[in-house]
Chain A
């Protein structure tokens, strides 16, 4: 089967998922959460004020119109305006994406390189003290709340030691660099535990395969076996794991951004949550779901490209 036919079929399968996502969001925000006019106008609003606002927000129309608007916004990315800042949400998103990426891309790249290299190293010394302590190290890192890392990191390294900027952001290269150093460091510490653990399992899964024994029986040394035979096989899950994380990079880091005052999408989302700004929360939810779905299609497609065994069904 042609790869493009496969891509098309995979994309068609996206439609029911996307409709489903919109349905869940619609049910959560428009049906169950109830009337947002109370939230907007406060307790002392008159019935007339409320009715006017409902009309303005389009809440007086039949539910399927409202649902259709939601679905439409998933395709047009026209999410209306924020309740609290009155800005169009699409502008907020396009302005917030870049600051998020200046934090998440360096963090992601450093973590991935570091954890893949470390995982090769520990699988080379598998079963040794070094390997065992790496597992404990990962699990230990993962056992501390991310909020604790952020609070401690910001207080100790930026405030107490004064090594980094405490908070703030400046757009444009290289102005932003001093502001992202500590956030990137914290990102790396937060994600290296699970990543190293994952990559180690991937490597160890391969190391015990029969083809490794064959490679040894050919007379290859362990280094060649690891870097050539094992790594090439491990690339399949590694690529999958990397690609599926990309949408989360665009969406930024909720906590880190808000603590360090980075005006990215994560911070925007957090502010919206704090101020019950439904349109923004809804928009961010749709956006992340769409990104996630598209990237899982991309992962599947890449899978067929990287792995010669996968035959398109």
Chain B
């Protein structure tokens, strides 16, 4: 049986704005398994990043607020522990890397300094010399050439890909149980993207952490994830293992996403002439329709979809979908 390191249960996050309360995440459930990667996919604003930040309790408050749910890390609810204990978990047991490698590192400290800072915080038994050595080791681990020299450089002296490697080195320096990667490759060139994903896969095998991969890119999902949750308007609309999801998508939205990948047709495997797109727009979080949130963009919508709200229901083992008319 696989070991659950993190369980997100019925998470609900609200934001107070000028126009009222927006529920950015509405009743989200997923688990992170040791050594496995769970992908959370969705368009921008679907609530995937907010879910990730909630796990770290990094939702800016105000305006944000986690209004319901539990986040169980090894059985302990992170939402109930004092902030001081939460800080001992951040960067240590649960680490996070962000989308913007250009701005996520502090520009006025050397990269070595920034890695050593994590070690100083969570592994205080190390001497400053040992910390420096470990920082160099970490840089080597993430594939940065001549780390002894690079450790004394500032972020601006490195390329975007290198900086994301530094972020990964920093995040992994305390060997966390869970790594949250929020669009880690979005800001990078395609070739660098592949390298970073490969690196993360490799390090996962070596260190055995569970990864939460937040992305809008199904290509990234296919390459890295074991398990996938598709989010739409703050809710998970489909949840399955990666093979099932790509081969037998049940939710029309998932199918639409897969068909809009600019490579091969999901059924024939041939290169398509024209890209499929999902018609219409994501509804405003203040103006969600009654019933299914996806109804306006769905070609299979029925009257039932317009009145009743679907809920995530198992349709096969390890496969849930939130749709009244799942695809066959």
Contacts and interface: CB of A to CB of B under 8 A. Distances in A.
Interface string A198-216: 0000000000011101111
Contacts of A216: 56, 58, 90
Contacts of B91: 217-220
A232 interface: yes
A interface, size bucket: 20 to 34
B154 A233 contact: no
Contact of B89 (A127, A211, A219): A219
B46 interface: no
B186 to A, nearest CB: 14
Given A217-B91, A218-B118, A221-B87, A307 B98 contact: no
Interface string B98-116: 1010011111110000000
What secondary structure prevails in chain A residues at the interface with B? Answer: helix
B108 A232 contact: yes
Nearest to A235: B108
Contacts of A174: none
Contacts of A217: 56, 58, 90-91, 95-96, 98
A233 B62 contact: no
A229 B118 CA distance: 13
Given A218-B91, A218-B170, A232-B109, A213 B122 contact: no
B interface, size bucket: 20 to 34
B108 A308 contact: yes
A309 interface: yes
Contacts of A215: 106
B104 A219 contact: no
Most buried by B among A213, A214, A218, A233: A218
B117 interface: yes
B90 A218 contact: yes
A219 B90 contact: yes
A219 B109 contact: no
A308 B107 contact: yes
B156 A309 contact: yes
B118 A210 contact: no
B157 to A, nearest CB: 8
Most buried by A among B62, B92, B107: B107
A227 to B, nearest CB: 13
A309 B90 contact: no
Most buried by B among A214, A216, A229, A309: A214
A291 B103 CA distance: 37
A82 to B, nearest CB: 49
A309 B107 contact: yes
Contacts of A307: 107-108
A221 B103 CA distance: 20
Contacts of B121: 218-220
Contacts of B100: 210
B271 interface: no
Nearest to B121: A219
A214 B118 contact: no
Given A127-B62, A232-B109, A308-B156, A214 B90 contact: no
Interface in A37-59: none
B74 interface: no
A219 B98 CA distance: 15
B122 A219 contact: yes
A210 B62 contact: no
A236 B105 CA distance: 17
B58 A211 contact: no
A265 B92 CA distance: 59
Given A211-B104, A232-B108, A219 B118 contact: yes
A124 B163 CA distance: 28
Contacts of A232: 106, 108-109
B105 A211 contact: yes
A74 to B, nearest CB: 37
B88 interface: yes
Interface in B75-103: 84, 87-92, 95-96, 98, 100, 103
10 contacts: A210-B100, A211-B106, A214-B104, A217-B90, A219-B118, A219-B122, A220-B117, A221-B84, A232-B106, A236-B108
Interface of B: 56, 58, 62, 84, 87-92, 95-96, 98, 100, 103-109, 117-118, 121-122, 154, 156, 167, 170
Closest 3 A/B residue pairs (Cβ): A218-B91, A219-B90, A219-B91
